[in-house]
């Protein structure tokens, strides 16, 4: 079973992960707008209502506040809800329940109670959906103690981490990238395939430069790393954070110490973005002494995402710009 | 009110005396907390339930303690005590001590007793409504037969979550009672100035659920009797109910309230409608209890509160390390194959 793998899309990996966990544990259920007969606004629950019924694949009113509150209340009393937030932009309507309730309840109650809930949010742009449907808002949540934040970038990581998130006893914000639901890759079929939350993954071993990234940008970073290596003979190490909170500081520090050069890439806006936090952590750590260049960030521009596809694409890091930044570091420019 | 008073109650003497005792505990506990705030022993923000004892005890005495659940709000002392929380732990919590209900990390606005069915007070107005709906969803999905009592103030009815959660509970026919304890002011703002219906219970029709009104929230038996009916209706699987009662907080909104928005005359008028005096007189007039028996209750309540203060004062401060504990629940990671 362990070696049994299949090529599938991120979308199918999500459906498989949720379905396996729902078969395993009757307390797990999915709720959200259009998750039922429609199969999810991003088709991430197609076929599930047929298998699990409408009680456990629960269509909701367009009421993000009530959806998130009800999910938390259900989680506090023994269920393990998965919320399909659909567009991450709509999570703004859920902020009180996630930030003031879910993240703090256990702490405020002196360690009593637990809130095993997963908020699956479709982040990022790339599909021409403009400023209110294209944001990657992970930094708002990594700022709040009590939340776990996961942003995987491959179908296998999506499966292993979503399953781990569902089994976790804490509130988890799980980023999916709407531009990558169709991205394919090899996925383990073992229903007990889980990945550890809080562990980064070295997606490519290298010795000259470290590039730290997560989520949607992983694919582009790997492509850029391979192209730079081939064309310029630069050996790039790619650190895929996968989990933003808790952050795998050791993996980051170890890689930076090894290469002495670091570039951080994410698709979210640059100002206040999560990679800024990682950069600060590196600067404060003993890895600083190993640096022989500036710490560089390459992020989404500080503009609302424009509708025009050419403009939108120009606002988000692409392979060419990632390559340029890698070479900038290597050449100490 | 007179009608309720003359009504023969099915309640046992024991239960009635116990309800009286709980009202006394609320009054005595909060009076003591108020005193300790003024003395500077209690540093944090506190909101008192004095004057609202019958509205709290009458409702909570009608649910099944130990199996039904409640959610509470920032003015939650009365609800916690009505659900018979340990007074020692609660006083220690309000003093921020390690022995407190929440190890000193929550304080007055976050008293919770999950084992006792109290899913917690809440510092966000309307913050408990979603939780109550979710807790009720669990009861329905697991077919427990238990219900959830969601307590909030008149002000919370103007939060968006009120609309969303009542609608959701209604369409899913969830076993939850939405209970608005209307004390007529949101801090300083009269509820009449911020709604364009007479009372919030009238909004129930918008969600296709029954709306009930208990006009005199200072009449313990009126509250209890109405709640007995409502609890039965909800427990039978008929879906949620919105119920409202009118009462009055004798003290300010919190400990820093100059009270300029209401007259002394108004406060005095309400003090004449003291729920505790009224129930005491009813017990005596109807010969349910003797003066001696009631005096014994009063003394026992004072002693329990005094004991809680002693317990809290002699309890240790939390360790600094404890500030870094209890953020996350243990993770059960049942298998790991990379």
User: Residue B120: which domain range?
Assistant: 2-324
**pLDDT tens per residue, range A136-189:** 999 999 999 999 999 999 999 999 999 999 999 999 999 999 999 999 999 999
Distance of alpha carbon A11 from alpha carbon B299, whole angstroms = 66
Q: Is a pLDDT exceeding 50 seen at residue A66?
A: yes
Flag if B333 and A196 touch (Cβ within 8 Å). Answer: yes
Residue B251, Cβ neighbours under 10 Å: how many? 18
pLDDT at position B259 is 86
Average of per-residue pLDDT across A252-275: 98
Q: Minimal Cα–Cα distance from A189 to chain B, Å? A: 11
Residue B334 lies in a domain: no
Flag if B130 and A65 touch (Cβ within 8 Å). Answer: yes
Q: Which neighbouring-strand residues pair with B70?
A: B118, B149
pLDDT at position B337 is 31
Chain A CB within 8 Å of residue B334 CB: yes
Q: How many residues does chain B have?
A: 338
pLDDT at position B230 is 98
Pairing of strands A118-123, A184-188: unpaired
Flag if B131 and A76 touch (Cβ within 8 Å). Answer: yes
pLDDT at position B45 is 87
Name the average pLDDT for chain A: 97
pLDDT at position B7 is 52
Average of per-residue pLDDT across B190-208: 97
Residues in chain A with CB shorter than 8 Å from the CB of B325 are 111
Residue B335 lies in a domain: no
Q: What percent of chain B has pLDDT over 90?
A: 91
Q: Is a pLDDT exceeding 90 seen at residue A100?
A: yes
**pLDDT tens per residue, range A33-46:** 999 999 999 999 99
pLDDT at position A2 is 52
**pLDDT tens per residue, range B116-132:** 999 999 999 999 999 99
> Which residue in chain A is spatially nearest to B123 when comparing CA positions?
A100
The two most distant CA atoms of chain B are separated, in Å, by 75
Name the catalytic one among A58, A80, A106, A133: A133
Average of per-residue pLDDT across A40-62: 98
Q: Is a pLDDT exceeding 60 seen at residue B233?
A: yes
User: In chain B, how many domains are there?
Assistant: 1
Q: Which of B85, B125, B328, B333 has the highest number of chain A CBs within 10 A, making it the mutation to test binding with A? A: B328
Give the CA-trace dihedral at A215, A216, A217, A223, to 10 degrees: 110
Residue B75 lies in a domain: yes
Residue B338 lies in a domain: no
Q: Which two tokens stand for residue B147?
A: 């219900």
Name the average pLDDT for chain B: 94
Query: CA B336 from chain center: how many Å?
Result: 45
Q: Which of A24, A63, A110, A199 has the highest number of chain B CBs within 10 A, making it the mutation to test binding with B? A: A110
pLDDT at position A333 is 64
Active site residue A269: no
Domains and CATH numbers, chain A: 5-188 (3.40.50.970), 201-330 (3.40.50.920)
Q: What percent of chain A has pLDDT over 70?
A: 99
Q: What percent of chain A has pLDDT over 90?
A: 98
Residues in chain B with CB shorter than 8 Å from the CB of A96 are 124, 127, 161
Distance of alpha carbon B284 from alpha carbon B277, whole angstroms = 11
CATH for B274: 3.40.50.970
């Amino acid at each position: 079973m362990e070696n049994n793998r299949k090529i599938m899309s991120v979308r199918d990996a999500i459906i498989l992960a949720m379905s396996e966990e729902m078969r395993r544990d009757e307390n797990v259920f999915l709720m959200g707008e259009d998750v039922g007969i429609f199969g999810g606004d991003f088709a991430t629950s197609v076929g599930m209502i047929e298998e699990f019924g409408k009680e456990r694949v629960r269509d909701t009113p367009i009421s993000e506040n009530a959806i998130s509150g009800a999910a938390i209340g259900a989680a506090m009393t023994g269920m393990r809800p998965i919320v399909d937030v659909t567009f991450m932009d709509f999570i703004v309507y859920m902020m009180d329940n996630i930030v003031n309730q879910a993240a703090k309840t256990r702490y405020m109650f002196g360690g009593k109670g637990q809130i095993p809930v997963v908020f699956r949010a479709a982040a990022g742009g790339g599909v021409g959906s403009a400023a209110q449907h294209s944001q990657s808002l992970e930094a708002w949540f990594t700022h709040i103690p009590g939340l776990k934040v996961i942003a995987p970038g491959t179908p296998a990581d999506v499966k292993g981490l979503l399953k781990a998130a569902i089994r976790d006893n804490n509130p988890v914000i799980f980023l999916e990238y709407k531009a990558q639901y169709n991205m394919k890759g090899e996925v383990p079929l073992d229903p007990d395939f889980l990945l550890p939350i809080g562990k980064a993954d070295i997606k490519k071993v290298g010795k000259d430069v470290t590039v730290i990234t997560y989520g949607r940008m992983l694919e582009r970073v790997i492509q850029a790393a391979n192209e730079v290596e081939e064309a310029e003979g630069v050996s790039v190490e790619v650190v895929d954070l996968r989990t933003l909170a808790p952050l795998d500081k050791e993996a980051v520090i170890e890689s930076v110490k090894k290469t002495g050069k670091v570039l951080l890439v994410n698709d979210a806006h640059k100002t206040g973005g999560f990679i800024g936090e990682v950069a600060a952590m590196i600067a404060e750590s003993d890895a600083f002494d190993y640096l022989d260049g500036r710490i560089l960030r390459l992020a989404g521009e500080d503009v609302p995402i424009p509708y025009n596809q050419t403009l939108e694409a120009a606002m988000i890091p692409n392979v060419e710009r990632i390559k340029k930044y890698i070479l900038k570091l290597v050449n100490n420019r | 009110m007179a009608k309720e008073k003359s009504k023969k109650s099915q309640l046992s003497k024991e239960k009635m005396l116990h309800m009286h005792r709980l009202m006394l505990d609320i009054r005595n506990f909060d009076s003591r907390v108020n005193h300790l705030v003024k003395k500077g022993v209690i540093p944090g923000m506190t909101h008192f339930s004095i004057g609202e004892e019958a509205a709290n005890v009458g409702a909570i005495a009608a649910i099944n303690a130990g199996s039904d659940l409640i959610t509470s709000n920032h003015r939650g002392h009365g609800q916690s005590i009505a659900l018979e929380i340990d007074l020692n732990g609660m006083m220690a919590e309000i003093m921020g001590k390690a022995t407190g209900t929440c190890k000193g990390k929550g304080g007055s606005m976050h008293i919770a007793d999950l084992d006792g069915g109290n899913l917690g007070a809440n510092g966000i107005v309307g913050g408990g409504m979603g939780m109550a709906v979710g807790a009720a969803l669990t009861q329905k999905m697991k077919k427990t037969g238990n219900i959830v009592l969601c307590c909030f103030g008149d002000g919370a009815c103007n939060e968006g979550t009120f609309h969303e959660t009542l609608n959701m509970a209604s369409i899913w026919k969830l076993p939850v009672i939405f209970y608005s304890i209307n004390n007529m002011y949101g801090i300083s703002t009269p509820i009449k100035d911020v709604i364009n219906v007479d009372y919030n219970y009238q909004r129930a029709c918008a969600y296709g659920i029954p709306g009930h009104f208990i006009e005199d929230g200072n009449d313990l038996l009126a509250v209890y009797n109405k709640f007995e009916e409502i609890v039965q209706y909800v427990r039978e699987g008929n879906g949620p109910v919105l119920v409202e009662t009118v009462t009055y907080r004798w003290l300010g909104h919190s400990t820093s309230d100059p009270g300029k928005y209401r007259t002394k005359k108004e406060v005095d008028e309400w003090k004449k409608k003291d729920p505790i005096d009224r129930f005491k007189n009813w017990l005596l007039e109807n010969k349910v209890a003797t003066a001696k028996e009631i005096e014994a209750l009063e003394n026992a309540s004072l002693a329990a509160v005094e004991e809680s203060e002693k317990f809290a004062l002699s309890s240790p401060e939390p360790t600094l390390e404890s500030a870094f504990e209890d953020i996350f629940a243990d993770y059960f990671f049942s298998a790991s194959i990379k």
